[in-house]
Amino acid sequence: MRTPVQEARLLILENLSIGYERRFPLVEGISQEVRAGEMVALIGRNGTGKSTLIRTAAGIIPALRGQCTLEGEPVRSMDLRKRARKVSFVASQVSQLPPVTVRELVSLGRMPHTGWRGTLGQLDREMVQEAIRMVRLEELIDRTLDHLSDGERQRAMIARAFVQDTPLMLLDEPTAFLDLPNRYELIQLLTGFREAGKAILYSTHDFDLAMMSADRLWVLHQGNMVEGIPEDLGIRGVYESLFESTTIRFDVEMRKFRPAVTLRGTLQLSCEDQRLLAWTRNAIERIGYQVDNKAEKKLKVTASNGNHTWILTWEDGSIQFENIESLARFLTKEN
């Protein structure tokens, strides 16, 4: 994780209120900034204003109050061509699909830098080809968008934003239509853009990925915003308060949200194999047991010649299991 405090302030939000009616703002008084070479993840529950904030920062919709400036100039005062050279935007969905190929779509990202004819030079074509390679769409380069999956279209839109070559990239739920491996690959791709000096602000519901990759988090909750690096927000209890009225809880040790379960009991747990230990603990906590070194019941996991055994002992006896499933069934029926 980086904290690029030495970098110049690129995007500045000053006392910003966002929404669609002045009488009913979604969030008021936002004063934040994104620096060059920094990646910020915007998180929050549905309806809190994540997409609205991203679109306001991009100049697509006006702020209700306050100011949004990019490199010192109000975003909304820029003409479209200048704005397109300063900020690229990727929406969470493509509502209408133009009958263009992947190559043609990505090439559109070079329009702010070409003449009015939109003629691509050699460098432009090389950038387009490289962007398509980076998002792994080479084999689909001549396929039209209506013949792509949601995830493939999303990757093509990100490639278009990349070749737009702006100092600021804004993305609304960029991982929404991607499977798990592609989500991680996309975040790695954005990390590479950041390392090249771009500023990135993206909204997401993928909390685990945001915790792993973002320099800072902006958290929208109940009409307010709090921000900080992931660890500082954890110390302040922000994640617990974010979903405090729901049936999930934030596991501080695992740094992830878990469904709230009824506590069935406690177990001592021991295992020399860290992989077995982790998966066993995950299973017993999932069904409602808490690991406690002072618990009466003891669970020991052994490994020998590729065979695993789970031995549960208590004051009056013991029982062995050959896999976690049989152990979980026993513990569930027992309580």
Task: Note whether 23 and 126 are same-domain residues.
Answer: yes
For the segment 125-181, what is each residue's pLDDT rounded down to a tens digit? 999 999 999 889 999 999 999 898 888 888 899 999 999 999 999 999 998 878 888
Domain range for residue 300? Answer: 265-334
Task: Note whether 105 and 207 are same-domain residues.
Answer: yes
DSSP 87-131: EEEE-S--SS--S-BHHHHHHHTTGGGS-TT----HHHHHHHHHH
- 259 in any annotated domain: no
What is the distance of C-alpha 64 from the center of its chain? 27
Q: Total domain count for the chain?
A: 2
- pTM of the entire predicted model: 0.81
User: Distances from the Cα of 252 to the Cαs of 126, 133, 185, 240, 255, in angstroms?
Assistant: 46, 38, 26, 9, 5
Task: Note whether 172 and 288 are same-domain residues.
Answer: no
- 195 in any annotated domain: yes
For the segment 232-289, what is each residue's pLDDT rounded down to a tens digit? 998 888 887 777 666 676 766 666 666 667 788 999 999 999 999 999 998 998 898 9
DSSP class of residue 37 equals T
Boundary (domain end) residue, out of 251, 282, 308: 251
- 258 in any annotated domain: no
The percentage of the chain sitting over the pLDDT mark of 90, rounded to a whole number, equals 56
Task: Note whether 271 and 135 are same-domain residues.
Answer: no
Task: Note whether 18 and 135 are same-domain residues.
Answer: yes
Task: Note whether 247 and 311 are same-domain residues.
Answer: no
Task: Note whether 234 and 274 are same-domain residues.
Answer: no
User: How far apart are the C-alpha atoms of 245 and 136, rounded to whole Å?
Assistant: 41
User: How far apart are the C-alpha atoms of 191 and 263, rounded to whole Å?
Assistant: 40
Look up the CATH number of the domain holding residue 317: 3.30.160.150
Task: Note whether 53 and 175 are same-domain residues.
Answer: yes
Task: Note whether 274 and 140 are same-domain residues.
Answer: no
| Reported confidence tier of residue 18, pLDDT bands at 50, 70, 90 | very high
Boundary (domain end) residue, out of 251, 277, 306: 251
Task: Note whether 300 and 227 are same-domain residues.
Answer: no
Task: Note whether 242 and 316 are same-domain residues.
Answer: no
Task: Note whether 111 and 29 are same-domain residues.
Answer: yes
